[in-house]
């Protein structure tokens, strides 16, 4: 069975073996980030709706469970847009807990809907929340996140602080830096003050490593990342991490490079199975062959063969970024 809403599991630096759930099924988001790997937000909204019914997601997950080759360390709610926009998110979290009673649930979110009491209440049942905030400077937010007109910096920060007061699980905050856009001293100072108040369990400072919506968006240097890590981690309650990672926060813990790996050590899957997994993965964000091999744990030569066949079938295309070929699905 091909899945529309279940993807992975793949290895993630922060969550281990993570099985992803797509809660919106399309590029539906309250932000339109310039670095988004999914592409331009097609529906910019803060309206909560059952974009994908919980029953459909849980039916796929139940089927996946009957065929699962391995048990995931986490089930992670994310997807091609903002998962908290799904008004049935609470039912999804509850359903996941019933299907996988011993597996923690993580939620990747862009932090924009914490002002909504229903969202905060639904998220209380999760075990780890991974919110992201890129900037607390209003002009920078308009530039990097291009948010829905009803949103502003204060709505994000006050909502997240209110949630922290109620939540007993872990909070891993992420900040993504784009060169010349949100890497200002002003932003660093404001974030440091906010993090000191929020006291998340972990802070990740990341930059882009894959193509985003805008070609002009580019990563900051390793020195910059290091400086930000030092400052923001000292303000947090736990050790922070600093790494180059994927550019879509909703993808990060579902698809993340895990450092040095022998790319031929992955699974020798039958070609149709590899093609299905790869197509599912690149339909969410562009990736190179080594990134796919690492994330999906498929031997690189099998990935190469599957990519070749998918190209011949006109199901994928690629874009060159420097020497790297980033594959993405052909959108209908």
Residue reference for tokens 């990519």: 307
To the nearest whole angstrom, how small is the minimum distance from the Cβ of residue 41 to ligand SF4?
5
Q: Is 21 in the site for ligand SF4 (CB under 6 A)?
A: no
| 130 to 1, 108, 252, 254: CA distances (angstroms) | 30, 5, 10, 12
Task: Identify which of residues 254 and 278 has a Cβ nearer to ligand SF4 in the complex.
Answer: 254
To the nearest whole angstrom, how small is the minimum distance from the Cβ of residue 241 to ligand SF4?
19
CB neighbour burial string for 299-310, b if at least 16 within 10 angstroms, e if fewer:
bbebbeebbebb
Residues in 36-75 at the binding interface with ligand SF4, rule: CB under 6 A: 36, 38, 41
Q: Is 33 in the site for ligand SF4 (CB under 6 A)?
A: yes
Q: Which residue among 6, 23, 31, 89 contacts ligand SF4 (CB under 6 A)? A: 31
Q: Which residue among 15, 23, 29, 190 contacts ligand SF4 (CB under 6 A)? A: 29
Question: CB-based contacts of 139: which residues, under 8 Å, 6+ apart?
Answer: none
Task: Identify which of residues 11 and 284 has a Cβ nearer to ligand SF4 in the complex.
Answer: 284
Residues in 85-124 at the binding interface with ligand SF4, rule: CB under 6 A: 110
Q: Which of 140, 166, 138 is nearest to 151 (CA)?
A: 138
Q: Is 249 in the site for ligand SF4 (CB under 6 A)?
A: yes
Is residue 80 a contact partner of residue 117, using CB atoms and an 8 Å limit?
no
Task: Identify which of residues 137 and 248 has a Cβ nearer to ligand SF4 in the complex.
Answer: 248
To the nearest whole angstrom, how small is the minimum distance from the Cβ of residue 22 to ligand SF4?
11
Q: Is 285 in the site for ligand SF4 (CB under 6 A)?
A: no
To the nearest whole angstrom, how small is the minimum distance from the Cβ of residue 212 to ligand SF4?
8
Task: Identify which of residues 51 and 100 has a Cβ nearer to ligand SF4 in the complex.
Answer: 51
To the nearest whole angstrom, how small is the minimum distance from the Cβ of residue 146 to ligand SF4?
8
To the nearest whole angstrom, how small is the minimum distance from the Cβ of residue 32 to ligand SF4?
5
Is residue 279 a contact partner of residue 316, using CB atoms and an 8 Å limit?
yes
Strand segments, DSSP code E, in 36-94 are 43-44, 74-78
To the nearest whole angstrom, how small is the minimum distance from the Cβ of residue 102 to ligand SF4?
29
Q: Is 248 in the site for ligand SF4 (CB under 6 A)?
A: yes
Q: Which of 321, 329, 327, 79 is nearest to 211 (CA)?
A: 321
Q: Which of 185, 291, 177, 178 is nearest to 242 (CA)?
A: 177
Q: Which residues pair with 22 in a beta bridge?
A: 78
- Strand pairing report for 16-22 and 74-78: parallel
To the nearest whole angstrom, how small is the minimum distance from the Cβ of residue 108 to ligand SF4?
8
DSSP 225-282: HHHHHHHHHHHSSS--EE----S-TTTTTTS---SS--TTSSB---HHHHHHHHHHHH
To the nearest whole angstrom, how small is the minimum distance from the Cβ of residue 144 to ligand SF4?
9
Q: Is 202 in the site for ligand SF4 (CB under 6 A)?
A: no
Q: Is 207 in the site for ligand SF4 (CB under 6 A)?
A: no
Task: Identify which of residues 250 and 280 has a Cβ nearer to ligand SF4 in the complex.
Answer: 250
Is residue 54 a contact partner of residue 77, using CB atoms and an 8 Å limit?
no
Q: Which of 126, 120, 66 is nearest to 95 (CA)?
A: 126
Q: Which residue among 32, 122, 204, 297 contacts ligand SF4 (CB under 6 A)? A: 32
Task: Identify which of residues 138 and 272 has a Cβ nearer to ligand SF4 in the complex.
Answer: 138
Q: Which residue among 84, 86, 209, 250 contacts ligand SF4 (CB under 6 A)? A: 250
Residues that bind ligand SF4 (CB under 6 A): 29, 31-33, 36, 38, 41, 81-82, 110, 248-250
């Amino acid at each position: 069975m091909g899945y529309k809403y279940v993807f992975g599991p793949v290895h993630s630096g922060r969550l281990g073996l993570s099985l992803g759930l797509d809660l919106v099924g399309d590029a539906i988001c309250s932000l339109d980030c310039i670095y988004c790997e999914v592409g331009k937000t097609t529906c910019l909204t803060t309206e909560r709706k059952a974009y994908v019914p919980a029953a459909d997601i849980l039916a796929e997950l139940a089927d996946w469970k009957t065929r699962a080759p391995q048990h995931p360390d986490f089930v992670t709610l994310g997807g091609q847009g903002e998962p908290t926009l799904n008004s049935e998110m609470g039912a999804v979290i509850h359903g996941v807990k019933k299907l996988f009673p011993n597996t923690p649930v993580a939620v990747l979110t862009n932090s924009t809907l914490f002002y909504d009491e229903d969202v905060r209440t639904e998220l209380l049942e999760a075990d780890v929340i991974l919110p992201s905030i890129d900037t607390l400077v209003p002009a920078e937010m308009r530039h990097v996140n291009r948010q829905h007109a009803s949103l502003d910096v204060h709505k994000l920060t006050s909502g997240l602080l209110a949630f922290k007061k109620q939540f007993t699980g872990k909070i891993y905050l992420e900040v993504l830096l784009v060169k010349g856009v949100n890497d200002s001293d002003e932003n660093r100072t404001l974030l440091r003050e906010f993090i000191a108040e929020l006291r998340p369990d972990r802070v990740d400072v990341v930059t882009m490593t894959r193509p985003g919506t805008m070609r002009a968006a580019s990563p900051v240097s390793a020195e910059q990342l290091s400086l930000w890590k030092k400052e923001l981690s000292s303000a947090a309650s736990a050790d922070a991490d600093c790494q180059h990672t994927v550019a879509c926060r909703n993808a990060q813990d579902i698809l993340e490079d895990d450092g040095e790996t022998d790319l031929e050590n992955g699974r020798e899957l039958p070609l149709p199975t590899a093609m299905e997994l790869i197509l599912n993965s690149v339909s969410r964000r562009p990736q190179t062959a080594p990134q796919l091999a690492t994330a999906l744990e498929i031997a690189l030569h099998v990935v190469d063969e599957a990519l070749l066949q998918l190209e011949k079938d006109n199901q994928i295309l690629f874009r060159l970024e420097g020497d790297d070929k980033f594959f993405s699905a052909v959108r209908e």
